[in-house]
A and B are shown apart, each in its own frame.
Chain A
Amino acid sequence: MSKLKRLSLGWGILPVAIFLAIWEIVARLDLIPGQFFFPPFSIVMQEFYYLTANGVLGHNFLSSLTRVLIGFCAGSIAGIAVGIIMGWRDVINKALNPIISLLYPIPALGWLPLLMLWLGIGEALPITIIFICSFFPVLYNTVTGIRNVDKDFIQVARTLGASDTKILTTVVLPLAIPNIFTGLRLESGMAWRVIIAAEMVAIPTGIGALLMKAESLIRIDIIIVCLIVLSVMCLSFEKFFAYMEAKLTTKWR
Chain B
Amino acid sequence: MPTIELKNISKYICQEVNLKTLDKELLVLLGPNGAGKTTLLNIIAGLIDYKGSVLFDNLPVDKLSTSKREIGYLFQDLVLFPHLDVASNIAYGLRAKGEPLPKIKSRVDELLHFMKIRHLSSRYPKHLSGGEKQRVALARALALSPKVLLLDEPLSSLDTQTSKYLRTELRQLQKELGITTIYVTHDLVEAEEVADRIAIIYNGHVDQVATPEEVFFYPKNERVSDFIGAPNILNCDYCRSVGRGIMEVNCGGLSIIVPHDGNSVQRIALFPRDIYISDTKPPGPRVNRFKGVITSIKSADDAVRLEVKAGGNSLLAEMSHSIFEDMDLTVGKEVFLILKLRRIRAYEGKIG
Interface residues on A, range: 20 to 34
Q: Are A252 and B126 in contact (CB under 8 A)?
A: yes
Chain B 189-218, CB-CB to A under 8 Å as 1, else 0, gives: 000000000000000000000000000000
CB interface residues, A 127-163, toward B, < 8 Å: 150, 152-153, 155-163
B172 at the interface (CB under 8 A from A): no
**A152-B75, A252-B125 known; A161 and B144 CB under 8 Å?**
yes
How many angstroms between the C-alpha atoms of A205 and B141 in the bound complex? 61
Query: Would A159 and B126 count as touching, CB distance under 8 A?
Result: no
Instruction: Say whether B45 faces chain A, with CB atoms less than 8 Å apart.
Output: yes
CA distance A162 to B66 in the complex (A): 9
Chain B residues whose CB sits within 8 angstroms of the CB of A171 once the complex forms? 81
Does B124 contact A159, Cβ atoms closer than 8 Å? no
A159 in contact with B71 (CB, 8 Å):
yes
Q: A174 near B83 (CB under 8 angstroms)? A: yes
> Interface segment, B27-35, B89-97, B325-333?
B89-97
The residue on B at minimum CB distance from A158 is B66
**Cβ–Cβ contact A159 & B45, under 8 A:** yes
Q: Are B82 and A159 in contact (CB under 8 A)?
A: no
Whether B75 pairs with A156 at a CB distance below 8 angstroms is yes
State in angstroms the CA–CA spacing of A157 and B144 once bound together. 12
Q: In the complex, which range does the number of interface residues on chain B fall in?
A: 20 to 34
* Residue from B81, B83, B124 whose CB has the most chain A CB atoms within 10 Å: B83
CA distance A152 to B45 in the complex (A): 13
Q: Report chain A residues within 8 Å CB of B84.
A: 252
Tell me the complex Cα distance, A7–B65, Å. 59
**0 or 1 for each of A242-253: is its CB under 8 Å from B? (1 = yes):** 000000010111
Are B93 and A162 neighbours in the complex by a CB distance under 8 Å?
A: yes
Partner of A156, one of B79, B83, B95, B143: B79
Whether A166 sits at the interface, judged by CB under 8 Å, is: yes
> In chain A, residues 151-200, which have Cβ atoms closer than 8 Å to a Cβ of chain B?
152-153, 155-163, 166, 170-171, 174-175
Q: Is the CB of A159 within 8 A of B77?
A: no
Assuming the A-B contacts A163-B96, A252-B126, are A158 and B67 also in contact, with contact meaning beta carbons closer than 8 angstroms in the complex?
yes
CA gap between A194 and B141 in the complex, in Å: 51
With a CB–CB cut-off of 8 A, which chain B residues contact A153?
79, 81
Interface of A is mostly: helix
Closest to A175 in B: B83
Is the beta-carbon distance between A160 and B144 smaller than 8 angstroms? yes
Does B56 make an interface contact (CB < 8 A)? no
Instruction: Provide the residues of chain B in CB contact with A162, threshold 8 Å.
Output: 67, 92-93, 96
**In the complex the two chains form, what is the Cα distance from A174 to B88 in whole Å?**
14
B289 is an interface residue with CB less than 8 A from chain A: no
Residues of A within 8 A of B125 (CB): 252
Give the chain A neighbours of B77 by CB distance below 8 A: 152
Instruction: Please give the distance in Å from A68's CB to the nearest CB on chain B.
Output: 30
Q: Which of A157, A158, A160, A162 has the most CB of B within 10 A?
A: A160
A-B CB pair tally, cutoff 8 Å: 66
A157→B82 contact, CB < 8 A: no
Contact of B323 with A by CB under 8 A: no
With both beta carbons as reference points, the residue of chain B lying nearest to A167 in the complex is identified as: B96
**Counting chain A CB atoms within 10 Å of each CB, which of B73, B92, B126, B140 scores highest?**
B92
B75 touches A157 (CB 8 A): no
Q: Does B59 contact A (CB under 8 A)?
A: no
Residue from A157, A159, A252, A253 whose CB has the most chain B CB atoms within 10 Å: A159
Contact between B67 and A253, CB atoms less than 8 A apart:
no
B67 pairs with A155, CB closer than 8 A: no
Given A171-B81, A251-B124, are A159 and B96 neighbors across the interface (CB < 8 Å)? no
A159:B47 contact, CB within 8 angstroms: yes
Contacts A152-B75, A152-B77 given; indicate if A159 touches B66 (C-beta within 8 A).
yes
Contact call B79/A150, Cβ cutoff below 8 A = yes
List, in ascending order, chain A residues with CB within 8 A of B83's CB.
174-175, 249, 251-252
Give the residues in chain A near B124, CB-CB below 8 Å: 251-252
Judge if B72 is at the interface, Cβ distance under 8 Å: yes
User: Knowing A160-B140, A252-B82, A253-B82 touch, does A155 contact B75 (C-beta < 8 A)?
Assistant: yes
* Complex Cα spacing A40 to B65, Å: 72
Q: Knowing A152-B77, A251-B124, say if A160 contacts B92 (CB, 8 Å).
A: yes
Q: Which of A73-103 contact B (CB under 8 A)?
A: none
A249 vs chain B, min Cβ distance (A): 8
Q: How far is the CA of A159 from the CA of B67 in the complex (A)?
A: 5
A160 x B96 contact (CB < 8 A): yes
In the bound complex, CA of A71 to CA of B19 (Å)? 61
Knowing A155-B75, A252-B126, say if A161 contacts B81 (CB, 8 Å).
no
Q: Is the pair B79, A161 in contact by a Cβ cutoff of 8 Å? A: no
Q: Name the distance in Å between A245's Cβ and chain B's nearest Cβ.
A: 13
Chain B min CB distance to A253 (Å)? 7
Q: Which residues of B contact A159 (CB under 8 A)?
A: 45, 47, 66-67, 71-73, 141
In the complex, chain A residues whose CB is within 8 Å of the CB of B79: 150, 152-153, 155-156
Would you list the 3 A-B pairs with minimal beta carbon distance, nearest first?
A160-B93, A162-B96, A161-B67
Interface residues of A (CB under 8 A from B): 150, 152-153, 155-163, 166, 170-171, 174-175, 249, 251-253
Q: Assuming A158-B65, A161-B96, A252-B126, what are 8 further A-B pairs, CB within 8 angstroms?
A: A155-B47, A156-B73, A157-B92, A160-B93, A175-B82, A175-B83, A252-B82, A252-B84
Pairs A–B under 8 Å by Cβ, sample size 7:
A155-B75, A158-B66, A159-B71, A160-B144, A161-B67, A249-B83, A253-B82
